[in-house]
Structure 1
Amino acid sequence: GDGKAEEGKKKLGTVEGSMGEIVIAPRLLNPSLVRVYRSSEDDVMWAHKRVVATVINGETVALVQEKIEDVGFNNLKIIPLGADKVL
């Protein structure tokens, strides 16, 4: 190879056009598919009263919830946030 791309093939992330010419690149995301979430004031106040924690030793959320109830905290609920984070 002489380092040139084969005729008719495009490299990923390139656009066609002459040097200095203004070109319009295709958009990668369709804006109608992007979800927008705006927190209500009540949601923000609720979240400020909570604590985010990390579950260690690979324990399940159900097991951690059971251990919390075993020590007497019956009204404390754990909400999974994804991965090893809980609320």
Structure 2
Amino acid sequence: MPPTIAQQVGLAVRIVLMEQGRQQSEIAEALNLTDAAVSRRCHGSTAFRADELLTISQLLGVPVQRFYERALADRPAPTPAA
């Protein structure tokens, strides 16, 4: 079974954190969530909300689109309606 979009977005967030040497706890504090809640989002069992991703992108200094690149690359382009 292919990964869900929530899993791919969570992985992208984890990758940026690793690249910057930062911790999930920084995201938890910025979003006013528990570390466990952020962990669930970063592993895709709960999806990040759009406003949460905007806050994370500002915190980490990356565009929101960065979190969707992998998910978009793995999905086929929609076919136009006839």
Higher strand share: 1
Higher relative contact order (CA 8 A, sep 6+): 2
Bigger Rg over Cα = 1
Higher helix share: 2
TM-score with structure 1 length normalisation? Answer: 0.26
TM-score with structure 2 length normalisation? Answer: 0.27
